[in-house]
Amino acid sequence: MTRAEMIDALCRSVSPFGVVNDLRGECLEDRGQSYFLYRARINAFGRTGLLTPPLSGFGFSGDKDDAVLKALCEALERFCGVNFEPRIRHRGPWSDVAPNAVDPRQCLGYLDEQYRIPGFSLAPFDPEADHDWVEAMDPVSKSTLWMHLDLALMSMTSKVSKTSSVGMAIHSDAGLAAESAVLELIERDHLALAFWYGAPCRSLPKDNLPLSLHPHLESMVQAGYELHCLGLNFGLDVPVVLWLAFRADGLPHLLKGASANRRGVDAQSKAFEEMFRSFLHYRRHPFEVSSNAQGAMKNLVHYQTPDVAKRLGFLIDQTSRADPPELGGDFQGDLFTHLMRKGFPTYLVDMSHSVIGAFGLTCIRAISPSLVKTPLGSEPWQLASPRLRAYRGARDEALAAHPELHFFS
């Protein structure tokens, strides 16, 4: 199936009662250049019924067809995430699948006292009870093993660890889907560590952006934003970049974008484009601070205050700390072998729903027991995680007592 044929087939599949029930977009302009932003909404049912607010996929590009394709594919990716139908499944206790399985106790990382928090919805893993297990693959050895179903879900429907949609990607090439998934996993791990530990990030030159993006950078400065381009490196040596935009006068007070990529310049560009997409959207559509905001929007609203630069200043302030590590250099080689050698083995689960097969797409989730997951909203952090403990600091002690919304969920 060609790219044009895939776009045509995906667009024709949009219907009120289809997987994607709505597709709409608009043209946004800056400095004489046109960009297209599309949103595709899906009909999604989780374990507890219809998910509200409805899940959406977004596509942003200077090419209209590319924006449409990105929106539809991201929507289908999210549909696969909440409508997982594993081909191989086993129900039974831990003894049925050990030792050829990933031990869930390595992945959850909650302290005993966290489970005793009033209203805490999760429970410790019980090896004697029956659990659902699905097939996963070790991308280094190419062997298969068992993974707890909820570790594959890792979403709002999970009963063991509620996290944002980390480490999942969809593509017509399964290998590229797997690589994109693990890069997203690395990005979210680094953002969580920076927020939790309160580690300052290394400031990067803003003029490393491609020349075509420099005028858009100037547009944001003229709109009153103070811009920061930050490099993160928590021992994995893969380029991760975070852009932050603060302004005290006028909503939105905070815009952000992040990306992990093999090449540092690509991570910087993609992170900026994610932030710039929001800038263009909210320049046309007023930002509304709603007390009923859900999911990631709830977290974004939480930081829409004139003093947001001070609230998140710990990510930038280096006055009383040693310089943060350099941004990881351009990465060559196999990512999965690299992570295994670093002590972070990563596994893959094919999340592909039957409905995406007709479009020649594959949806892959990457799962690493040792990397840090990004919690949903104010869900307590996985405080027993050895990786978090390695960066233990005063900030994590404070947040342990008074959890705060992760600014990037």
Residue-wise DSSP of 102-121? --GGGT----HHHHTSTT--
Residue type, 400: A
Closest CA to 258 of 268, 247, 248: 268
Residues β-bridged to residue 337 = none
CB atoms within 10 A of CB 166: 25
pLDDT in tens, the chain (409 residues): 899 999 999 999 999 888 899 999 999 999 999 999 999 999 865 544 545 557 899 999 999 999 999 999 999 999 998 888 888 899 999 999 998 999 988 887 788 887 888 888 788 889 999 999 999 999 999 999 999 998 888 776 677 777 766 799 999 999 999 999 999 999 999 998 888 887 778 999 998 899 999 999 999 999 999 999 999 999 999 999 999 999 999 999 999 999 999 999 999 999 999 999 999 999 999 998 888 877 778 888 989 999 999 999 989 866 555 567 778 778 889 999 999 999 999 999 999 999 999 999 999 999 998 888 877 666 666 767 788 778 776 777 777 667 678 887 6
pLDDT, residue 48, reads: 46
Query: How many angstroms separate the Cα of 111 from the Cα of each of 63, 78, 179?
Result: 48, 30, 32
The Cα-based distances of 139 to 144, 183, 368 in angstroms read 9, 14, 12
What domains lie within the chain, and their CATH numbers?
A: 3-83 (3.30.160.20), 103-141+174-408 (3.30.160.660)
**What spatial distance separates the first Cα and last Cα of the chain, rounded to whole Å?**
35
- Contact, 384 vs 109, CB < 8 A? yes
pLDDT at 130: 96
- Entry pTM: 0.93
Is residue 201 within 8 Å of 325, Cβ to Cβ? no
Give the residue among 64, 69, 342, 6 at the shortest CA–CA distance from 189: 342
Tell me the H-state helices in 28-156.
64-82, 94-97, 112-115, 149-153
**Helices marked H in 198-313:** 214-222, 264-284, 295-302, 308-311
In sequence order, the 6+-apart residues with CB closer than 8 A to the CB of 166 are 154, 184, 185, 188, 373, 374
